[in-house]
Amino acid sequence: MRYKITLEYDGARYHGWQKQPKEPLTVQETVENAVMHIAGSYVKVTASGRTDEGVHALGQVAHFDCDNALPCERMKAALNHWLPDDVRVTECETAPDTFDARKSAKRKTYMYRFYVSDTESPLRRTRECYGGTSLDDAAMDDAAKLFVGTHDFAAFMSSGSSAKTSVRTVFDASVKREGISVVFSVTGNGFLYNMVRIMAGALLKVGKGGGKERIEKALAEGDRRLVPDIAPPYALYLIGADYGSGAKIAQNSRPILI
């Protein structure tokens, strides 16, 4: 039986989603260990997308096959019993054998969070990126609209990517203020290595007083040097994946801080 699960996790102590030979702790291996307790043997867990070291998720979708066919609520409870406190299954359902959490995804949404304050917050420092005493969120929102559409995002990709093409489609990109937080949200059909964090780094420059023209030029010329900054990982969240209904993305978007 194939199970489709939605995961929420704090990525602070993990070396990203994907299991790696030389890294002792990844989210994938942690989830697979929980499944193994139930299945009795190793079972691969496939996610909608990789999250990098330190990146969080509110709605990471994954699938796995298990011959030990438990009702979904019991499977959810059993997984959460074996998972550590910083990883939780929030939803569990059965899926057809043709469902693939990665290949079947039509859209993915990420959120990057900044905050503005006279002083840096000891509570927000592992959840949001400090943007200084002020950010022009209206200018950031205007610049974010440049990402919408089908573009070659070569300038917004770190070296080391195995992607066959750097062309991606962004369906929506916006920046809005939530109290002292400034939140960048972006939905696309896929994202390149560090793409959202490079976008966030470019928008941070805009918020501090300029740089929109550099984003325009980077999209046109594909020159990574025009947008060199990569925002830190701890303020990035995978919100969710959409498999055609359009509803999944919004379900797990909830406030991070009071």
**Which residues are annotated as catalytic?**
52
Rounded distance between C-alpha atoms, residue 71 and residue 69, angstroms: 7
| CB-CB contact of 28 with 34 (8 Å) | no
The residues, any chain, with a CB within 8 Å of residue 125's CB and separated by 6 or more, are 234
Rounded distance between C-alpha atoms, residue 245 and residue 107, angstroms: 10
Kindly provide the residue ranges of all beta strands, DSSP E only, lying in the chain, ordered along the sequence. Answer: 2-9, 46-47, 56-65, 87-95, 107-115, 129-130, 149-152, 167-178, 181-188, 236-242
